[in-house]
Amino acid sequence: MRMRGWASLAGAVGLTLVMGLASVGGAQNTTTPAPAKEPAAPAGFVGMGTCAQCHEEVVNAFKSTPHMSSAQGCEGCHGPGQAHAENAGDKTKIKVFTELSAVDSSAVCMDCHNKGNQKHWIGSSHNSRQIACTQCHDPHPKGAVQPALLKQPQMKLCTSCHLQKKAQLMRPGHMPLREGKLECTSCHNPHGTPNDRMLLQTSVNQNCYSCHAEKRGPFLFEHAPVRENCLNCHDAHGTVNEKMLKVKAPLLCQQCHQTSSHPGPAYPAQSRYAFNQGCLHCHPSIHGSVHPSGNRFFR
């Protein structure tokens, strides 16, 4: 009987302790947690709100660009703005891109844009010629935002420097850039590549094959100059001849092929070669042939 009494007493004490702890825990759970402190801004940074007090139009334009995702906003590119703001907008206290050298200006962009299509910028043709990123791109455009934040449509922007290519693209036989079917970046990477002429592919032919796959082959009978380089016969930007040929046929063909087996370019009126004077009338498969009788590219 004594043992049974002790057991009852111990059970009652245990139940009391459990209920007490539960009530304490419930009281703790009802306490409102302290609000988390926001991380302090780095020293010297004042935030875009301060920038907008003087540069409201620029800040509003900046908000419509991909750069808005930067954690530091304007100061991510221009540097800390506290000294600039406290000294009545002193331009010497902040990075002003129009006053930076092309190397220093582009170095700011390269802090983020150093991968993917921009990874070959250092040492590229444009970089070695002191072309700054801001000469082609506008980080906070005032009007409609162009793709890649370009200052102008791509063809107009590129041809503002490459005037010879602009003239070629106006010729009768030309790449369809004017029609909007291609862009300069369809073949070139303006930020640089390991390849010649900043081509996207490792060679001219590989670049051409990305669109003209039917010219790739393999062929049973290959035309040697075609296999070597498409530019042996064509000018990629445009010519006054059809098919963007450098020289009108048959003179183009006769630069390599002697005329001993055929009459020369001054054909008699009754000659069967006089009509349009084209070698391709008989040799249409000039890029290569897979036909057993195509050793002379007849078919």
Q: Which residues contact 255 (CB under 8 A, 6 or more apart)?
A: 247
Mean pLDDT of all residues in 270-288: 76
* Phi, psi dihedral angles at 234 (to 5 degrees): -110, 155
pLDDT at residue 2, rounded to an integer: 45
* Longest CA–CA separation in the chain, Å: 140
pLDDT at residue 271, rounded to an integer: 62
Mean pLDDT of all residues in 271-293: 80
Q: How confident is the model at residue 239 (pLDDT cuts 50, 70, 90)?
A: very high
pTM score of the predicted model: 0.77
As a whole number, the mean pLDDT across the chain is: 84
- pLDDT: is 231 or 254 the higher one? 231
Q: What is the pLDDT of residues 45-58, one digit of tens each?
A: 999 999 999 999 99
As a whole number of angstroms, the distance between CA 246 and CA 225 comes to: 14
pLDDT at position 244 over 70 = yes
pLDDT at residue 221, rounded to an integer: 95
pLDDT at position 228 over 90 = yes
Q: What is the pLDDT of residues 201-221, one digit of tens each?
A: 999 999 999 999 999 989 999
pLDDT at residue 9, rounded to an integer: 45
Nearest alpha-carbon partner for 236 in 154, 171, 297: 171
As a whole number of angstroms, the distance between CA 299 and CA 293 comes to: 7
Q: What is the pLDDT of residues 131-173, one digit of tens each?
A: 999 999 999 898 888 899 999 999 999 999 999 999 999 999 9
Q: Minimum mean pLDDT among 11-25, 96-110, 133-147, 203-217: which range?
A: 11-25
